[in-house]
Chains A and B, each alone.
Chain A
Amino acid sequence: MLFIEIISWLFIVAGALLGIAGGIGIHRFPDFYSRLHAVGITDTLCAAMFLVGLCMQTGVSIASLKLMLIFIFLFFSSPTATHALANAALLGGLKPELDEEYHGHCFDRHPD
């Protein structure tokens, strides 16, 4: 069982590193969209890694089934929340911060 223990802790540590990466991203990136990009992508995989690692810790039982259900719920709801946030910001008129050469180039159209 040492093998499963090691694999599960690898998953949990990878999830923790992803969470820390998302936290650094939301702290350091310049504008709303890039912050959302940093945390929206890492967040889902972070939760998934944690849940897979915890599933291996519990073994095959009702608790791991519940963890898998939580995983399915997060797998659908977390990207949807990110999409809704970005969509609302874009419709609300928040412009992404762009490099000089791209100004007025790719985001000049109104989103509808």
Chain B
Amino acid sequence: MKHNLILRVIAKYLFPVIALFAFYVQFHGDYGPGGGFQAGVILSVAFILYTLVFGLDTAEQVLSPGVLRILACTGVLLYAGTGVVTMLFGGNFLDYDLLALNPIEGQHIGIMLIELGVGVTVSAIMLVIFFAFAGRERS
């Protein structure tokens, strides 16, 4: 395993950078290019890099498959829940204008929640798919 020394060190330093970039893409998505889907994929890429370098068992200690399934469901619930809340306020499904007193502020909050849901679900699902493929020869 001593052949992977350089990879291990660089992956350790790159992991927080990639994760930080994912959050930048996520929360800057309403002002610049980006959004939930891209941010989710970038965040899952950070974990995939970790898995490729440190092995599947170590990665599953960090993020167990149960947690990933809960996260995937949480994102979808956040997305649909935002829509249902706007319906409870008397509008259409995903009618962001009603989320705050000011319609523009409501649009802001609405798109933020939607993109957060998309990001959480996409990163969790990408990792579930990757772990399923990577763990195929183990079972």
Contacts and interface: CB of A to CB of B under 8 A. Distances in A.
Interface residues of A, number: 10
A83 B14 contact: no
A83 B6 contact: yes
Where chain B touches its partner, the secondary structure class is helix
Interface in A76-110: 76-77, 80, 83-84, 87, 91
A3 interface: no
Interface string A29-56: 0000000000000000000000000000
Contacts of A77: 10, 14
Interface residues of B, number: 8
A87 B1 CA distance: 12
- Per CB-CB distance, the 8 closest pairs between chain A and chain B, nearest first, are A80-B10, A83-B6, A84-B7, A87-B3, A76-B10, A80-B6, A80-B7, A77-B14
7 contacts: A76-B13, A77-B10, A80-B7, A83-B6, A84-B6, A84-B7, A111-B3
Interface of B: 3-4, 6-7, 10, 13-14, 17
Given A76-B14, A80-B6, 15 more contacts: A73-B14, A73-B17, A76-B13, A77-B14, A80-B7, A80-B10, A83-B6, A83-B7, A84-B6, A84-B7, A87-B3, A87-B4, A91-B3, A111-B3, A112-B3
